[in-house]
Amino acid sequence: MTIKIIYLKTHRYLCIIKNMIKYDTASKVGKIRDAVNHLILSELNKHGVDGISPSHGDILVRLYRKNGLSVKELAEKIHRTQPTVTVLIDKLQKLGFVERKKSKEDSRITLINLTEKGVQLEPIFREISEKLNNVIYGGLTHTEKEQLEYLLEKVLKRF
């Protein structure tokens, strides 16, 4: 621990404790996740989008990048189990954002495709993502942004 004492013009001393590790990162990450989910749901609500949860966002974003993915491909890309992805897709299908279609190359494979309603949601998702990124990265230098991502990825790989 480093202690720095600064003499102020008011004849007082300010003691700054630097590098004090609090070991509350898991708590902070949980609070950040809660805040992110709240922001996403609030923004979706402002746009009149109901029924979608933040966990659906990973699937939709992947389908915006490449439509027509299998459940297996989606599960691998979003790091979730296939049963979990199936439940999320069931809800998205019920809401009319995606549909299932058999692959033309292999009829054993079912592909998940965006419906027109799902495609129309993309600009709203991009807007919410931009707002979220501004909150997360706002005020950080480019180097700090890189460090943040590097350290979070390093910790994530341990799980």
**More confident: 19 or 40:** 40
Please tell me the distance from the alpha carbon of residue 66 to that of residue 77, in angstroms, as a whole number.
11
Of 5-9, 57-61, 103-107, the range with the lowest mean pLDDT is: 5-9
Domains of the chain in sequence order:
25-156 (1.10.10.10)
The DSSP code for 98 is E
What are the tens digits of pLDDT across the range 24-41?
999 999 999 999 999 999
What are the tens digits of pLDDT across the range 72-115?
999 999 999 999 999 999 999 999 999 999 999 999 999 999 99
Predicted local distance difference test score (pLDDT) of residue 6: 52
Secondary structure of residue 146 in the 3-state scheme: helix
Predicted local distance difference test score (pLDDT) of residue 123: 97
Check whether 5 has a pLDDT greater than 90.
no
**More confident: 16 or 134:** 134
**Cα within 13 Å of Cα(51), Cβ side:** 12
